[in-house]
Amino acid sequence: MKIFKTADGGTSWLELPLPNGVVSQYEMDVQSIVFFDENNGAFTANNEAYRTYDGGQTWTTILTTDYTGNNPIYDFCFVGKNEAGEMILAESNENAWYDNHIVTSLPSSADYTIVHHFPHSGIHPDYCNYSNGRLHYLTRNFNFWDGEIQIYDFNTNDMETWDIIGNIPLDVHHAGGKTAIVTEYGKIYFHNWHSNDWNVSSYNFHDHDYTAIEYVNDFYIAVAQSSISTNYTGVWEEALDDSGNGHSEYFMQVQKIDDKSVYISGKQGLFIQATFK
């Protein structure tokens, strides 16, 4: 996988060099990436975390040991930024003897602060995500049918675990007092934080796995392999699907630009901007 940077909203892209020691793009499996400004950024790939202070021209491997300085860190699953503009790094250790960690750092700093560490749960995290004050670890149970969400709240410093029965969660977003998750087999669930129940709030348009969900102003947009679903009009409907029109794009991620627009990316270099009127 290659890394590209844009400075004009996606009209043109500059390919960035790979970190030292990575000799081929095919060795790179980028999990998450964030830039705070033109120079300062970070990404996670292949269970490592990398950081740049010169716009991606050089990359440095960071945080190879945990907060004790003795135990190795095995698996970074997320890098992002919070409302204070700090970098957030989430590490989920595959080694049951060592803790999981959440650390923060200022955009141009080389110093890191452990904000939370907790015992390894014995469940391998598939994906991590941060939204509106909460960091979510999406995990798959050992039976490979159910899932869990481990949630750390930066405002209260609390950590809790929610079970997802019957479907494996693939993305999560918290906004407006509700937590939304998208799962395999084309399902979208909502949790209002006032009960233990998850409600299926969308229609089942298809059985494709949803890969990402984003909150835009007062509505959600979710992407699957070859469809885009949204409740922009107040009800869930397909904004784009592959029914009878030869549409074959494979959507993978959606990211908010402003209160009306999102970026949607996918396989084979797909990158589009969608605006809701």
Output the DSSP codes for 236-251. -EEEE--SSS-----E
Residue percentage of the chain with pLDDT more than 70: 74
List pLDDT tens digits, range 229-266: 888 888 888 776 555 454 567 788 888 888 888 888 87
Q: What is the mean pLDDT of residues 71-97?
A: 75
The pLDDT value recorded for residue 98 is: 60
Question: Is the distance from CB of 46 to CB of 96 less than 8 angstroms?
Answer: no
Q: What is the mean pLDDT of residues 214-231?
A: 86
List pLDDT tens digits, range 117-127: 776 655 555 67
- Is the pLDDT at 273 greater than 60, yes or no? yes
- Is the pLDDT at 12 greater than 90, yes or no? no
Output the DSSP codes for 78-107. EEEE-TTS-EEEEE--SSTTS-EEEEEE-T
Q: What is the mean pLDDT of residues 160-169?
A: 72
Question: Is the distance from CB of 152 to CB of 100 less than 8 angstroms?
Answer: no
The pLDDT value recorded for residue 198 is: 65
- Is the pLDDT at 53 greater than 90, yes or no? yes
Which pLDDT band, with edges at 50, 70 and 90, does 56 fall under?
A: very high
Specify the DSSP class assigned to residue 3. Answer: -
Question: Is the distance from CB of 164 to CB of 179 less than 8 angstroms?
Answer: no
Query: Alpha-carbon distance 76 to 83, whole Å?
Result: 21
Query: Alpha-carbon distance 136 to 151, whole Å?
Result: 5
- Is the pLDDT at 216 greater than 80, yes or no? yes
Query: Alpha-carbon distance 164 to 189, whole Å?
Result: 10
The pLDDT value recorded for residue 116 is: 84
Output the DSSP codes for 73-84. P--EEEEEE-TT
Which of these, 86, 91, 79, 2, lies nearest to 43 by C-alpha position?
A: 79
- Is the pLDDT at 95 greater than 90, yes or no? no
Question: Is the distance from CB of 136 to CB of 174 less than 8 angstroms?
Answer: yes
Q: What is the mean pLDDT of residues 126-136?
A: 81
Q: Which residues contact 194 (CB under 8 A, 6 or more apart)?
A: none
Alpha-carbon separation of residue 185 from 87, 208, 214 (angstroms): 33, 5, 18
Question: Is the distance from CB of 159 to CB of 116 less than 8 angstroms?
Answer: yes
